[in-house]
Structure 1
Amino acid sequence: MPAPHNSFKHAIANGELQIGCWMGLADPYIAEISAGAGFDWLLIDGEHAPNDLRSIVAQLQVLAARDSHAVVRPPIGETWIIKQLLDAGAQTLLVPMVESAAQAQDLVDAVTYPPHGVRGVGSALARASDFSGIGDYLTTARNEICLLAQVENQKGMSELDRILEVDGIDGVFIGPSDLAADMGFIGQAGAAEVQAAVLGAMEKIVASGKAAGILTLDKDLQNDCREIGATFIATEIDVTLFARNMRSASNEARQNLQGE
Protein backbone atom coordinates (compact mmCIF):
# COMPACT_ATOMS: atom_id res chain seq x y z
CA MET A 1 0.00 0.00 0.00
CA PRO A 2 1.48 3.40 -1.00
CA ALA A 3 1.38 6.70 0.88
CA PRO A 4 -1.95 8.58 0.69
CA HIS A 5 -2.60 10.51 -2.51
CA ASN A 6 -1.90 14.23 -2.12
CA SER A 7 -4.74 15.78 -4.12
CA PHE A 8 -3.49 19.32 -3.46
CA LYS A 9 -0.02 18.60 -4.84
CA HIS A 10 -1.38 17.11 -8.03
CA ALA A 11 -4.01 19.83 -8.47
CA ILE A 12 -1.53 22.71 -8.36
CA ALA A 13 0.87 20.80 -10.61
CA ASN A 14 -1.96 20.57 -13.15
CA GLY A 15 -2.76 24.27 -12.89
CA GLU A 16 -6.05 23.75 -11.05
CA LEU A 17 -7.12 26.61 -8.79
CA GLN A 18 -7.06 25.76 -5.08
CA ILE A 19 -8.77 28.32 -2.81
CA GLY A 20 -7.60 28.37 0.78
CA CYS A 21 -8.01 29.91 4.21
CA TRP A 22 -5.42 30.62 6.90
CA MET A 23 -6.08 29.08 10.32
CA GLY A 24 -4.51 30.87 13.26
CA LEU A 25 -7.03 30.18 16.01
CA ALA A 26 -5.15 26.98 16.79
CA ASP A 27 -8.15 24.90 17.75
CA PRO A 28 -9.50 21.63 16.28
CA TYR A 29 -13.10 22.77 16.79
CA ILE A 30 -12.46 25.80 14.58
CA ALA A 31 -10.58 23.59 12.13
CA GLU A 32 -13.59 21.29 11.88
CA ILE A 33 -15.94 24.19 11.16
CA SER A 34 -13.49 25.58 8.60
CA ALA A 35 -13.11 22.19 6.93
CA GLY A 36 -16.85 22.07 6.35
CA ALA A 37 -16.91 25.49 4.71
CA GLY A 38 -15.76 24.32 1.28
CA PHE A 39 -12.18 25.61 1.02
CA ASP A 40 -9.84 23.42 -1.02
CA TRP A 41 -7.03 23.85 1.50
CA LEU A 42 -6.54 25.14 5.03
CA LEU A 43 -3.24 26.42 6.38
CA ILE A 44 -2.38 25.38 9.94
CA ASP A 45 -0.02 28.14 11.01
CA GLY A 46 2.87 27.28 13.30
CA GLU A 47 4.76 30.52 12.66
CA HIS A 48 2.42 33.29 13.82
CA ALA A 49 -0.25 31.29 15.69
CA PRO A 50 -0.06 29.61 19.13
CA ASN A 51 0.33 26.12 17.68
CA ASP A 52 2.65 23.38 18.88
CA LEU A 53 3.12 19.83 17.58
CA ARG A 54 0.20 18.42 19.55
CA SER A 55 -2.26 21.12 18.48
CA ILE A 56 -1.15 20.69 14.87
CA VAL A 57 -1.69 16.93 15.12
CA ALA A 58 -5.18 17.48 16.55
CA GLN A 59 -6.09 19.70 13.61
CA LEU A 60 -4.60 17.24 11.10
CA GLN A 61 -6.77 14.52 12.61
CA VAL A 62 -9.89 16.64 12.22
CA LEU A 63 -9.09 17.65 8.65
CA ALA A 64 -8.38 14.05 7.65
CA ALA A 65 -12.10 13.34 7.87
CA ARG A 66 -12.97 16.20 5.51
CA ASP A 67 -12.25 17.21 1.93
CA SER A 68 -10.14 20.31 2.70
CA HIS A 69 -6.42 19.60 2.37
CA ALA A 70 -4.17 20.46 5.30
CA VAL A 71 -1.12 22.62 4.64
CA VAL A 72 1.20 23.16 7.61
CA ARG A 73 3.53 26.12 8.07
CA PRO A 74 6.33 25.40 10.54
CA PRO A 75 7.77 28.32 12.53
CA ILE A 76 11.09 27.85 10.76
CA GLY A 77 12.55 25.64 8.07
CA GLU A 78 14.70 23.43 10.27
CA THR A 79 15.21 19.72 9.56
CA TRP A 80 14.19 18.61 13.06
CA ILE A 81 10.76 20.23 13.01
CA ILE A 82 10.10 19.24 9.40
CA LYS A 83 10.78 15.64 10.40
CA GLN A 84 8.28 15.87 13.25
CA LEU A 85 5.56 17.43 11.10
CA LEU A 86 5.97 14.86 8.34
CA ASP A 87 5.84 11.98 10.83
CA ALA A 88 2.73 13.58 12.33
CA GLY A 89 1.04 13.21 8.96
CA ALA A 90 1.51 16.55 7.23
CA GLN A 91 1.95 15.99 3.51
CA THR A 92 2.17 19.62 2.42
CA LEU A 93 4.52 22.12 4.05
CA LEU A 94 4.78 25.86 3.47
CA VAL A 95 8.17 26.93 4.79
CA PRO A 96 8.61 30.63 5.68
CA MET A 97 11.49 32.97 4.92
CA VAL A 98 13.24 31.07 2.15
CA GLU A 99 16.05 33.31 0.96
CA SER A 100 18.36 31.23 -1.23
CA ALA A 101 18.64 28.21 -3.49
CA ALA A 102 20.92 26.55 -0.92
CA GLN A 103 18.22 26.93 1.74
CA ALA A 104 15.61 25.58 -0.67
CA GLN A 105 17.81 22.55 -1.39
CA ASP A 106 18.19 21.93 2.35
CA LEU A 107 14.39 21.84 2.60
CA VAL A 108 14.18 19.32 -0.23
CA ASP A 109 16.73 17.16 1.56
CA ALA A 110 14.75 17.45 4.81
CA VAL A 111 11.59 15.97 3.25
CA THR A 112 13.45 13.18 1.44
CA TYR A 113 14.65 9.88 2.91
CA PRO A 114 18.27 8.75 2.49
CA PRO A 115 20.22 8.14 0.39
CA HIS A 116 18.90 11.18 -1.48
CA GLY A 117 17.98 13.24 1.60
CA VAL A 118 18.27 13.43 5.36
CA ARG A 119 14.76 12.74 6.67
CA GLY A 120 14.99 10.48 9.71
CA VAL A 121 13.55 7.00 9.26
CA GLY A 122 11.02 6.67 12.06
CA SER A 123 7.88 5.74 10.21
CA ALA A 124 7.13 2.78 12.49
CA LEU A 125 6.23 5.31 15.19
CA ALA A 126 4.47 7.70 12.86
CA ARG A 127 0.91 8.70 12.17
CA ALA A 128 2.09 9.34 8.60
CA SER A 129 2.47 5.59 7.96
CA ASP A 130 -0.75 4.77 9.83
CA PHE A 131 1.55 3.40 12.53
CA SER A 132 3.17 0.89 10.16
CA GLY A 133 -0.17 0.15 8.48
CA ILE A 134 1.10 1.56 5.16
CA GLY A 135 3.63 -1.06 4.15
CA ASP A 136 5.17 0.91 1.26
CA TYR A 137 5.32 4.25 3.06
CA LEU A 138 9.10 4.59 3.07
CA THR A 139 9.40 4.07 -0.68
CA THR A 140 6.36 6.11 -1.74
CA ALA A 141 6.12 8.98 0.78
CA ARG A 142 8.27 11.46 -1.14
CA ASN A 143 6.06 11.29 -4.22
CA GLU A 144 3.12 12.61 -2.20
CA ILE A 145 4.91 15.30 -0.18
CA CYS A 146 4.33 18.82 -1.45
CA LEU A 147 7.03 21.34 -0.55
CA LEU A 148 6.22 25.04 -0.88
CA ALA A 149 8.82 27.75 -0.35
CA GLN A 150 7.65 31.09 1.03
CA VAL A 151 9.60 34.04 -0.35
CA GLU A 152 8.83 37.19 1.59
CA ASN A 153 11.73 39.63 1.67
CA GLN A 154 14.01 41.42 -0.75
CA LYS A 155 16.84 38.92 -0.28
CA GLY A 156 14.53 36.08 -1.23
CA MET A 157 13.16 38.04 -4.17
CA SER A 158 16.66 38.68 -5.46
CA GLU A 159 17.31 34.92 -5.30
CA LEU A 160 13.94 33.91 -6.74
CA ASP A 161 15.27 32.76 -10.12
CA ARG A 162 17.75 30.42 -8.42
CA ILE A 163 15.17 29.14 -5.92
CA LEU A 164 12.91 28.26 -8.82
CA GLU A 165 15.67 26.12 -10.32
CA VAL A 166 15.72 23.80 -7.30
CA ASP A 167 14.25 20.42 -8.18
CA GLY A 168 11.84 19.21 -5.52
CA ILE A 169 10.26 22.57 -4.75
CA ASP A 170 6.65 22.21 -5.87
CA GLY A 171 5.63 25.82 -5.56
CA VAL A 172 6.62 29.26 -4.34
CA PHE A 173 4.39 31.40 -2.18
CA ILE A 174 4.88 35.17 -1.98
CA GLY A 175 4.27 36.84 1.39
CA PRO A 176 3.16 40.44 0.76
CA SER A 177 3.16 41.64 4.39
CA ASP A 178 6.77 40.82 5.23
CA LEU A 179 7.86 41.92 1.78
CA ALA A 180 6.12 45.26 2.26
CA ALA A 181 7.89 45.78 5.59
CA ASP A 182 11.27 44.90 4.09
CA MET A 183 10.65 47.33 1.24
CA GLY A 184 9.91 50.15 3.70
CA PHE A 185 6.12 49.94 3.52
CA ILE A 186 5.31 48.21 6.79
CA GLY A 187 1.57 47.70 7.14
CA GLN A 188 1.05 48.80 3.53
CA ALA A 189 0.96 45.59 1.50
CA GLY A 190 -1.32 47.41 -0.95
CA ALA A 191 1.35 49.97 -1.87
CA ALA A 192 1.87 50.15 -5.62
CA GLU A 193 5.56 49.27 -5.35
CA VAL A 194 4.80 46.18 -3.27
CA GLN A 195 2.05 44.96 -5.54
CA ALA A 196 4.27 45.43 -8.59
CA ALA A 197 6.95 43.30 -6.91
CA VAL A 198 4.40 40.63 -5.99
CA LEU A 199 2.96 40.42 -9.49
CA GLY A 200 6.42 40.38 -11.04
CA ALA A 201 7.34 37.45 -8.80
CA MET A 202 4.12 35.65 -9.72
CA GLU A 203 4.99 35.95 -13.39
CA LYS A 204 8.45 34.45 -12.79
CA ILE A 205 7.05 31.56 -10.75
CA VAL A 206 4.41 30.66 -13.32
CA ALA A 207 6.91 30.95 -16.18
CA SER A 208 9.22 28.52 -14.37
CA GLY A 209 6.55 25.83 -14.39
CA LYS A 210 6.18 25.76 -10.62
CA ALA A 211 2.96 26.57 -8.77
CA ALA A 212 2.50 30.14 -7.53
CA GLY A 213 0.62 31.05 -4.37
CA ILE A 214 -0.33 33.95 -2.12
CA LEU A 215 -2.43 34.97 0.88
CA THR A 216 -4.27 38.23 0.36
CA LEU A 217 -7.65 39.61 1.35
CA ASP A 218 -7.40 42.13 -1.49
CA LYS A 219 -9.86 40.85 -4.11
CA ASP A 220 -8.24 42.83 -6.91
CA LEU A 221 -4.85 41.34 -6.11
CA GLN A 222 -6.42 37.87 -5.87
CA ASN A 223 -7.82 38.32 -9.37
CA ASP A 224 -4.57 39.73 -10.75
CA CYS A 225 -2.60 36.78 -9.36
CA ARG A 226 -5.09 34.32 -10.76
CA GLU A 227 -4.96 35.96 -14.19
CA ILE A 228 -1.19 35.50 -14.17
CA GLY A 229 -1.66 31.83 -13.34
CA ALA A 230 -1.39 31.50 -9.55
CA THR A 231 -2.91 28.19 -8.49
CA PHE A 232 -3.08 28.27 -4.67
CA ILE A 233 -4.62 31.43 -3.29
CA ALA A 234 -5.68 31.94 0.32
CA THR A 235 -8.48 34.51 0.50
CA GLU A 236 -9.34 34.61 4.21
CA ILE A 237 -7.87 34.28 7.73
CA ASP A 238 -9.95 32.68 10.46
CA VAL A 239 -8.70 35.12 13.12
CA THR A 240 -9.60 38.28 11.22
CA LEU A 241 -12.82 36.74 9.89
CA PHE A 242 -13.95 35.88 13.43
CA ALA A 243 -12.84 39.21 14.90
CA ARG A 244 -14.45 41.21 12.11
CA ASN A 245 -17.77 39.46 12.43
CA MET A 246 -17.77 39.53 16.25
CA ARG A 247 -17.19 43.29 16.21
CA SER A 248 -19.89 43.75 13.61
CA ALA A 249 -22.35 41.65 15.63
CA SER A 250 -21.63 43.66 18.77
CA ASN A 251 -22.05 46.98 16.98
CA GLU A 252 -25.29 45.88 15.30
CA ALA A 253 -26.76 44.69 18.60
CA ARG A 254 -25.83 47.94 20.34
CA GLN A 255 -27.33 50.02 17.55
CA ASN A 256 -30.49 47.95 17.60
CA LEU A 257 -31.04 47.92 21.37
CA GLN A 258 -29.58 51.27 22.40
CA GLY A 259 -30.07 53.28 19.25
CA GLU A 260 -26.39 54.26 19.22
Structure 2
Amino acid sequence: MSYNTAHTTTNANSRLRLLNKLKSGEFPLMTFMAISSVRMAQIVSLTGVDGIIVDCEHGNIGDDSMHNSVAAISALGVSPIIRVRGTSSDILKRALDTGAHGLMVPQVNTAEEAQQVVTYSKFPPQGLRGQGSAFPAIAHGLTTPEYMKSANETLITMIQIETAAGVENVDAICAVPGVDLIFIGPNDLAQSLLGYVPARGDEPVFKSAIEKIVAAAKKHGKWVGRLVNNGSLAKDAKNTFDTVAITGDTKAIQNWYMSEFDIARS
Protein backbone atom coordinates (compact mmCIF):
# COMPACT_ATOMS: atom_id res chain seq x y z
CA MET A 1 0.00 0.00 0.00
CA SER A 2 1.49 3.33 -1.05
CA TYR A 3 0.91 6.40 1.11
CA ASN A 4 2.76 9.45 2.34
CA THR A 5 4.90 9.09 5.44
CA ALA A 6 6.96 11.51 7.53
CA HIS A 7 9.62 11.36 4.79
CA THR A 8 7.33 12.27 1.90
CA THR A 9 4.61 14.38 3.50
CA THR A 10 3.94 17.86 2.19
CA ASN A 11 1.77 18.61 5.19
CA ALA A 12 3.00 21.84 6.78
CA ASN A 13 2.61 22.26 10.54
CA SER A 14 5.06 24.61 12.23
CA ARG A 15 4.46 22.93 15.59
CA LEU A 16 6.13 19.71 14.41
CA ARG A 17 9.62 20.93 15.25
CA LEU A 18 11.46 17.61 15.10
CA LEU A 19 9.87 16.49 11.85
CA ASN A 20 10.47 19.84 10.18
CA LYS A 21 14.15 19.86 11.14
CA LEU A 22 14.67 16.26 10.02
CA LYS A 23 13.10 17.01 6.66
CA SER A 24 15.28 20.09 6.18
CA GLY A 25 18.46 18.25 7.19
CA GLU A 26 19.18 20.46 10.21
CA PHE A 27 20.46 17.70 12.57
CA PRO A 28 17.91 18.20 15.36
CA LEU A 29 18.90 17.42 18.94
CA MET A 30 16.88 15.33 21.37
CA THR A 31 17.22 14.21 24.96
CA PHE A 32 15.51 11.71 27.27
CA MET A 33 13.26 12.63 30.18
CA ALA A 34 12.82 9.98 32.88
CA ILE A 35 11.63 12.10 35.82
CA SER A 36 7.89 12.45 36.31
CA SER A 37 7.35 16.21 36.45
CA VAL A 38 5.58 18.86 34.41
CA ARG A 39 8.17 21.33 35.68
CA MET A 40 11.00 19.11 34.47
CA ALA A 41 9.31 18.93 31.07
CA GLN A 42 9.10 22.73 30.95
CA ILE A 43 12.68 23.25 32.13
CA VAL A 44 14.13 20.88 29.55
CA SER A 45 11.89 22.30 26.80
CA LEU A 46 13.41 25.75 27.31
CA THR A 47 17.02 24.61 26.73
CA GLY A 48 16.91 24.79 22.92
CA VAL A 49 16.25 21.08 22.46
CA ASP A 50 14.16 20.03 19.45
CA GLY A 51 12.62 16.82 20.75
CA ILE A 52 12.15 15.32 24.21
CA ILE A 53 11.79 11.56 24.50
CA VAL A 54 9.44 10.91 27.42
CA ASP A 55 10.79 7.60 28.68
CA CYS A 56 7.88 5.33 29.55
CA GLU A 57 10.08 2.26 29.16
CA HIS A 58 12.69 2.91 31.87
CA GLY A 59 11.60 6.23 33.37
CA ASN A 60 9.46 6.96 36.42
CA ILE A 61 6.54 8.00 34.24
CA GLY A 62 2.99 6.67 34.38
CA ASP A 63 0.00 7.53 32.22
CA ASP A 64 -0.90 10.78 33.98
CA SER A 65 2.65 12.09 33.80
CA MET A 66 2.95 10.96 30.19
CA HIS A 67 -0.09 13.05 29.24
CA ASN A 68 0.98 16.06 31.31
CA SER A 69 4.55 15.98 29.99
CA VAL A 70 3.44 15.84 26.36
CA ALA A 71 1.09 18.79 26.91
CA ALA A 72 3.83 20.86 28.57
CA ILE A 73 6.46 20.03 25.95
CA SER A 74 4.26 20.68 22.93
CA ALA A 75 2.96 23.93 24.43
CA LEU A 76 6.53 25.26 24.45
CA GLY A 77 7.13 24.46 20.78
CA VAL A 78 9.18 21.30 21.25
CA SER A 79 8.32 17.86 19.86
CA PRO A 80 7.33 15.26 22.47
CA ILE A 81 8.27 11.68 21.61
CA ILE A 82 7.06 8.77 23.74
CA ARG A 83 9.35 5.82 24.27
CA VAL A 84 6.85 3.07 24.91
CA ARG A 85 7.46 -0.20 26.76
CA GLY A 86 6.23 -2.59 24.08
CA THR A 87 4.53 -3.14 20.74
CA SER A 88 0.99 -4.11 21.76
CA SER A 89 -1.88 -2.06 20.35
CA ASP A 90 -3.10 -0.75 23.71
CA ILE A 91 0.35 0.60 24.66
CA LEU A 92 0.84 2.30 21.29
CA LYS A 93 -2.69 3.75 21.24
CA ARG A 94 -2.40 5.13 24.75
CA ALA A 95 0.89 6.84 23.93
CA LEU A 96 -0.44 8.32 20.68
CA ASP A 97 -3.54 9.63 22.44
CA THR A 98 -1.33 12.00 24.42
CA GLY A 99 -0.66 13.93 21.22
CA ALA A 100 2.96 12.80 20.93
CA HIS A 101 4.70 13.83 17.72
CA GLY A 102 6.32 10.43 17.48
CA LEU A 103 6.89 7.04 19.04
CA MET A 104 10.14 5.32 19.94
CA VAL A 105 9.79 1.55 20.25
CA PRO A 106 12.59 -0.36 22.00
CA GLN A 107 14.21 -3.70 21.15
CA VAL A 108 12.55 -4.37 17.82
CA ASN A 109 14.12 -7.57 16.52
CA THR A 110 12.15 -8.53 13.41
CA ALA A 111 10.36 -6.99 10.46
CA GLU A 112 7.13 -8.51 11.78
CA GLU A 113 7.49 -6.57 15.04
CA ALA A 114 8.20 -3.38 13.09
CA GLN A 115 5.13 -3.95 10.94
CA GLN A 116 3.01 -4.42 14.05
CA VAL A 117 4.17 -1.04 15.33
CA VAL A 118 3.27 0.63 12.04
CA THR A 119 -0.11 -1.12 11.85
CA TYR A 120 -1.21 0.05 15.28
CA SER A 121 0.23 3.55 14.79
CA LYS A 122 -1.72 4.38 11.62
CA PHE A 123 -5.40 5.12 11.23
CA PRO A 124 -7.34 3.09 8.63
CA PRO A 125 -6.94 2.35 5.80
CA GLN A 126 -3.17 2.17 6.38
CA GLY A 127 -3.49 0.64 9.86
CA LEU A 128 -5.74 -0.25 12.77
CA ARG A 129 -5.30 2.68 15.16
CA GLY A 130 -8.53 3.63 16.90
CA GLN A 131 -9.75 7.19 17.39
CA GLY A 132 -11.58 8.49 20.43
CA SER A 133 -9.52 11.21 22.07
CA ALA A 134 -9.42 14.97 21.58
CA PHE A 135 -5.96 15.27 23.13
CA PRO A 136 -3.81 14.39 20.08
CA ALA A 137 -5.30 17.19 18.00
CA ILE A 138 -4.74 19.69 20.81
CA ALA A 139 -1.02 18.89 21.01
CA HIS A 140 -0.74 19.40 17.25
CA GLY A 141 -2.72 22.66 17.28
CA LEU A 142 -5.42 21.14 15.05
CA THR A 143 -9.06 20.19 15.08
CA THR A 144 -9.77 16.47 15.38
CA PRO A 145 -10.75 16.13 11.70
CA GLU A 146 -7.57 17.95 10.67
CA TYR A 147 -5.49 15.69 12.91
CA MET A 148 -7.16 12.57 11.53
CA LYS A 149 -6.23 13.61 7.98
CA SER A 150 -2.61 14.42 8.78
CA ALA A 151 -1.53 12.03 11.55
CA ASN A 152 -0.61 9.05 9.38
CA GLU A 153 1.95 11.06 7.43
CA THR A 154 3.34 13.32 10.15
CA LEU A 155 3.88 10.92 13.05
CA ILE A 156 7.56 9.91 13.34
CA THR A 157 7.80 6.18 13.96
CA MET A 158 11.18 5.38 15.54
CA ILE A 159 12.38 1.79 15.82
CA GLN A 160 15.23 0.93 18.18
CA ILE A 161 17.85 -1.64 17.20
CA GLU A 162 19.42 -2.85 20.45
CA THR A 163 20.13 -6.57 20.11
CA ALA A 164 22.12 -9.04 18.03
CA ALA A 165 18.81 -10.26 16.53
CA GLY A 166 17.86 -6.71 15.58
CA VAL A 167 21.21 -6.22 13.84
CA GLU A 168 20.81 -9.52 11.99
CA ASN A 169 17.36 -8.49 10.72
CA VAL A 170 18.01 -4.78 10.31
CA ASP A 171 17.72 -4.74 6.52
CA ALA A 172 14.23 -6.28 6.63
CA ILE A 173 13.23 -3.97 9.51
CA CYS A 174 14.33 -0.88 7.57
CA ALA A 175 12.40 -2.07 4.52
CA VAL A 176 9.05 -1.90 6.35
CA PRO A 177 6.94 1.00 4.96
CA GLY A 178 5.99 3.44 7.69
CA VAL A 179 9.17 2.98 9.71
CA ASP A 180 10.66 6.48 9.61
CA LEU A 181 13.73 6.45 11.82
CA ILE A 182 16.11 3.80 13.14
CA PHE A 183 17.53 4.65 16.56
CA ILE A 184 20.51 2.81 18.00
CA GLY A 185 20.49 2.01 21.70
CA PRO A 186 24.25 1.59 22.27
CA ASN A 187 24.13 0.26 25.82
CA ASP A 188 21.68 -2.58 25.23
CA LEU A 189 23.41 -3.27 21.92
CA ALA A 190 26.78 -3.54 23.70
CA GLN A 191 25.31 -5.83 26.34
CA SER A 192 23.84 -8.07 23.65
CA LEU A 193 26.96 -8.18 21.47
CA LEU A 194 29.77 -7.84 24.01
CA GLY A 195 28.32 -8.89 27.34
CA TYR A 196 29.20 -5.61 29.04
CA VAL A 197 28.41 -1.89 29.06
CA PRO A 198 29.44 0.63 28.11
CA ALA A 199 31.20 -0.32 24.91
CA ARG A 200 34.61 1.26 24.44
CA GLY A 201 33.51 1.95 20.89
CA ASP A 202 36.45 0.33 19.16
CA GLU A 203 35.33 -3.30 19.48
CA PRO A 204 35.16 -4.74 15.92
CA VAL A 205 31.82 -6.51 16.42
CA PHE A 206 30.27 -3.37 17.93
CA LYS A 207 31.63 -1.05 15.23
CA SER A 208 30.50 -3.46 12.52
CA ALA A 209 26.98 -3.56 13.98
CA ILE A 210 26.71 0.24 14.04
CA GLU A 211 27.92 0.44 10.45
CA LYS A 212 25.45 -2.24 9.35
CA ILE A 213 22.53 -0.43 10.99
CA VAL A 214 23.46 2.92 9.44
CA ALA A 215 23.95 1.37 5.99
CA ALA A 216 20.57 -0.40 6.13
CA ALA A 217 18.76 2.78 7.19
CA LYS A 218 20.34 4.80 4.40
CA LYS A 219 19.72 2.05 1.84
CA HIS A 220 16.00 2.18 2.56
CA GLY A 221 15.78 5.96 2.86
CA LYS A 222 15.20 6.07 6.62
CA TRP A 223 16.59 8.57 9.09
CA VAL A 224 19.04 7.16 11.61
CA GLY A 225 19.95 8.38 15.11
CA ARG A 226 21.63 7.24 18.29
CA LEU A 227 22.23 8.08 21.94
CA VAL A 228 25.40 10.04 22.81
CA ASN A 229 26.76 11.18 26.15
CA ASN A 230 27.69 14.80 25.44
CA GLY A 231 27.78 17.65 22.96
CA SER A 232 31.24 16.79 21.63
CA LEU A 233 30.12 13.29 20.66
CA ALA A 234 26.99 14.80 19.12
CA LYS A 235 29.16 17.00 16.88
CA ASP A 236 31.20 13.95 15.87
CA ALA A 237 27.99 12.14 14.90
CA LYS A 238 26.83 14.81 12.43
CA ASN A 239 28.51 13.22 9.42
CA THR A 240 26.88 9.83 10.04
CA PHE A 241 23.55 10.40 11.77
CA ASP A 242 20.47 12.52 11.08
CA THR A 243 19.78 13.18 14.77
CA VAL A 244 21.06 12.25 18.22
CA ALA A 245 19.73 12.21 21.75
CA ILE A 246 22.20 13.72 24.21
CA THR A 247 21.85 11.73 27.46
CA GLY A 248 18.86 12.62 29.68
CA ASP A 249 17.60 14.54 32.68
CA THR A 250 18.85 12.13 35.36
CA LYS A 251 22.38 11.96 33.98
CA ALA A 252 22.49 15.70 33.33
CA ILE A 253 21.63 16.48 36.94
CA GLN A 254 24.05 13.91 38.36
CA ASN A 255 26.88 14.92 36.07
CA TRP A 256 26.55 18.62 36.92
CA TYR A 257 26.54 18.01 40.66
CA MET A 258 29.44 15.54 40.57
CA SER A 259 31.53 17.93 38.47
CA GLU A 260 30.85 20.89 40.75
CA PHE A 261 31.45 18.89 43.92
CA ASP A 262 34.78 17.68 42.51
CA ILE A 263 35.78 21.29 41.87
CA ALA A 264 34.64 22.37 45.32
CA ARG A 265 36.68 19.63 47.00
CA SER A 266 39.80 20.10 44.89
Q: TM-score category by the smaller chain? A: 0.7 to 0.9
Which residue in the other structure is 1:153 paired with? 163
Which residue in the other structure is 1:80 paired with? 90
Which residue in the other structure is 1:235 paired with? 246
CA distance in 1, matches of 2:258, 2:62: 28
Which residue in the other structure is 1:197 paired with? 209
The 3-state SS of whatever aligns with 2:67 is helix
Contact 1:88 1:126 in 2 (8 A): no
The 3-state SS of whatever aligns with 2:29 is strand
Contact 2:79 2:100 in 1 (8 A): no
Q: Which amino acid aligns with 2:152?
A: R
Change in 2 beyond 3 A, CA 1:15/1:80: same
Which residue in the other structure is 1:216 paired with? 228
**Count of aligned residue pairs for this structure pair:** 251
Gaps of 5+ in 2: 1-10
Q: Which is further off, 180-189 or 194-203?
A: 194-203
1:11: how far off?
A: 2.8
Q: Which amino acid aligns with 2:210?
A: V
* TM-score computed with the length of structure 2 as normaliser: 0.86
Contact 2:17 2:77 in 1 (8 A): no
Superposed counterparts of 1:57-206, under 5 Å = 57-122=67-132, 125-130=133-138, 133-193=143-203, 194-206=206-218
CA distance in 1, matches of 2:187, 2:43: 27
Q: Which amino acid aligns with 1:127?
A: F
Deviation beyond 4 Å, 4+ runs, structure 1: 2-5, 218-221
Identical columns (%): 26
Q: RMSD over aligned Cα, in angstroms? A: 2.3
Find the structure with the greater CA-based Rg: 1
1:135: how far off?
A: 2.9
Contact 1:87 1:127 in 2 (8 A): yes
Change in 2 beyond 3 A, CA 1:71/1:62: same
* TM-score computed with the length of structure 1 as normaliser: 0.88
Contact 1:213 1:231 in 2 (8 A): yes
